[in-house]
């Protein structure tokens, strides 16, 4: 019984060592994003600013381009992003 428990613990620890590297996680995140190229409204407080989603950057932030030409990198909890209604 003790040897099976020890083996299970070793297997679990070994599986943690096989976690994907950051670049693989970012690529997976990018491949699952449905916002790329979408027109969105970036909501901050009471204001809403139209923008277009450019993609996901190397820090997993949403990259947006505003109509005025400005660029921003948005992260979770910082803003609310809603797909623009057409």
* H/E element, 11: helix 2-16
For residue 83, the cross-strand partners are 40
- Tens digit of pLDDT for each residue in 31-77? 988 889 988 888 888 888 899 999 999 888 999 999 999 999 998 65
CA dihedral (74, 77, 79, 83) positive or negative: positive
pLDDT at 69: 96
The domains found in the chain, sorted by start residue, are 21-83 (2.30.30.100)
Question: Which two structure tokens, joined as six digits, stand for 84?
Answer: 């623009």
């Amino acid at each position: 019984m003790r040897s099976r428990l020890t083996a299970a613990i070793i297997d679990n620890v070994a599986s943690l060592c096989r976690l994907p590297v950051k670049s693989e996680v970012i690529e997976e995140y990018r491949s699952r994003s449905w916002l790329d190229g979408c027109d969105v409204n970036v909501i901050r407080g009471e204001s809403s600013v139209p923008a277009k989603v450019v993609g996901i950057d190397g820090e997993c932030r949403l990259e947006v381009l505003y109509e005025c030409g400005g660029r921003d990198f948005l992260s979770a909890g910082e803003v609310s992003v809603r797909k623009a209604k057409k």
